Chains A and B, each alone.
Chain A
Amino acid sequence: MRALQIVICLQYFLNIQLYAQATETKLRLQDIQCQGNVVLSCEDLKSRMFLQIGEPLDEIEIQNAKLRMHSFPELQSAEISLEKGNSPEQAIVVIRVIESNYWSKRLSAGLISRGTNHFERITGEVQYNNFLNSGKILSLNVDQKHSLSTQTPHVWYSRIQYTDPHIFGSQRWFLTGGLSYLQNEIRGTDSDGDQLHFQSEKLFNDVKIGYRVSQSSFVSLGIFDTPINHLQSHWTYFSDSSQSHQSEAPSFRQGVSFAYGWNTEDDADFTTRGSQFIASLSLYRPETNSFGTFYGASGGLFYKKTWTSDSKNIWSFKVGIPNQFQQTAPLAEDIGLSLTYARDAKGFKSALFGDVTQTRKYVEAGYFLGSVKEMWVPGVKAGYMMQTQHLGVINFYLFGLEENRGFNYR
């Protein structure tokens, strides 16, 4: 009986030992090799794994590294495996990656109806995510809006921006700098019957430095400037047909901006959950013209919350308060208080778009910013989004706003 107990005990300890052999590797790391990388260097990939050559292989760290690599935008996929080393006690870690396309593109095209005024608007964005071959980001945005029935309004906006996500390798500090051009012309009659003509051509440059406060939030401090020799801003009011008055509006050119915000959305374009928030404040340098000295300050608020019900129905609530000095900006339609309902569908293949991997239909209803004056008008927007192989994210939409008391263009 005692012998049997000893045998059982020995068997038990043998089992434990064998179990340990299966879960705790005795392999040592001989080398790390990379496959599939074209732009990224193997040294860069290796730096994302905390493994030391010659040390015992840490499988937990390999699993962690795999998860980390899956989150990087420059990698479409990453797999890690072992291969034989020079002896059974040694192993080579092989990282197999498929690099992402460093170019990301977005195109949006819409028809907008504001009462009796109809417009087309086309927005495009091209972004290169590996500028200088070092993970810096260079992007170009273009936004164009034009009336389909009259000569104005015509808005042309373009911006080129450079971003360093990690200044001097810092994990928390980031920097953006950009040059923007805005051309804007409006002719029309406002709700009081006054005729108005507005022309503006501005060139902005700005630099912001930011600090990541937590995993998803940040603060930033920026300066901006509008070089005077590129600025034309001209307002003309006609109180009746026989008399005209020309006013010289303050054209604040320089200032500083502060912002705080967060972003916890799970996807850039096809968001299913998470929120965005930003609160910004701009302080302008005082300006003096023939009407006196003007002091400028403006603030903006934006909040968007997205959630999913029943795993299919996607809802989004959005509210934004615009900067009062910038109300004629090309993106005026984006500001408002609205609720969006969306549903995703599977993709398809197309000769024009290539592989369409995801689609989304959406309807947005709410109150949106009016044309010129500070008024909010009801509106409905319906759109269709696609994630395409050739053209990036494409968004087609129709947008109708009730603006019978508002501004009439001519």
Chain B
Amino acid sequence: MKTSHLIPLIIVIYNVTLQAAQVKPFFQKNSLGVTLQDLQYPTHFEKNLRSGLTHRFQFNIRTDLPFLSETVRTINIKYDLWSEKYQIAIEEHPSKQFVENVNLEKLNLILKRIQFKNLLPAKQLSDTVTFSMNIQIRLNPIEKERIKAIQKWIVENSTTQPLSFSSDTSIPKLMLPAKKKTLFSWIFNQNTEKMSEASEWQITTPSISIHRESIPHED
């Protein structure tokens, strides 16, 4: 009857406004980039990383600029069971960075300060422009089609009774599932709320206002 311990944690994290993470834009090689610093990862994230399975973070970087409404970057992290080191792949534009065989300390340093470069050429920003930016972070995103397929399988293989009713009263009495809210229902609810993708965990940084003249250069 009990809910998985993971679920309330996920829901709590999801509903909390991310205060600790800092979004800091910068110019590098005549391109706009952004640094995401001090992101608070899920509590059990470090333990889950050692499962040996790939963990995929998706970063949706959003601005109110007409030519950069949203751009997506990803980071894949995988723990090698034999070397006991982490492999990190950061999808950049136009190429991808790959960091191989780092220990946990190095991994934490990388994740503490993530940089995404080449968001757009600096010349597209006029000298006096002001715009806003936030970043939505998702862990292990799941497409809607996959959720539907999983849901279909669950319904067809569920051991809970669909419903019944007392023959004495003809009052419908649902034979209720013994299971409480689950990870799946959390994910499924995201899907039903017309999101294009769901995920095991997600959070969005507060939107910040950026003045072009205040953006530092890191060349």
Contacts and interface: CB of A to CB of B under 8 A. Distances in A.
Contacts of B160: 73, 165
Nearest to A369: B171
Q: How large is the interface on A (under 10, 10 to 19, 20 to 34, 35 or more residues)?
A: 35 or more
Contact of B140 (A63, A165, A216): A63
Nearest to A87: B82
A80 B53 contact: yes
Contacts of B129: none
Contacts of B104: none
Chain B residues touching A, range: 35 or more
B158 A71 contact: yes
B9 to A, nearest CB: 12
Contacts of A247: none
B166 to A, nearest CB: 7
A387 interface: yes
Contact of B177 (A62, A268, A298, A326): A268
B176 A269 contact: yes
A101 B166 CA distance: 26
Which of A11, A127, A268 has its CB near the most chain B CB atoms (within 10 A)?
A268
A224 B167 contact: yes
Contacts of A287: none
B197 interface: no
B152 interface: yes
Interface stretch (A169-177, A378-386, A400-408): A169-177
A68 B176 contact: no
Contacts of A62: 53
A187 B184 CA distance: 52
Nearest to B82: A88
A74 interface: yes
Interface string A155-199: 001010101011000011010101010100000000000000000
Nearest to A208: B164
Interface string A270-302: 100100101010100000000000000011101
B11 to A, nearest CB: 10
B154 interface: yes
B189 interface: yes
A124 interface: no
Given A204-B168, A278-B165, A329-B168, A82 B176 contact: no
B166 A100 contact: no
A255 to B, nearest CB: 9
7 contacts: A19-B91, A23-B54, A73-B178, A176-B161, A278-B163, A329-B171, A331-B169
Given A163-B175, A268-B180, A302-B171, 18 more contacts: A11-B95, A22-B78, A22-B98, A64-B150, A67-B142, A71-B154, A72-B158, A73-B159, A80-B51, A135-B159, A159-B168, A210-B162, A257-B167, A257-B170, A268-B176, A273-B189, A300-B165, A323-B170
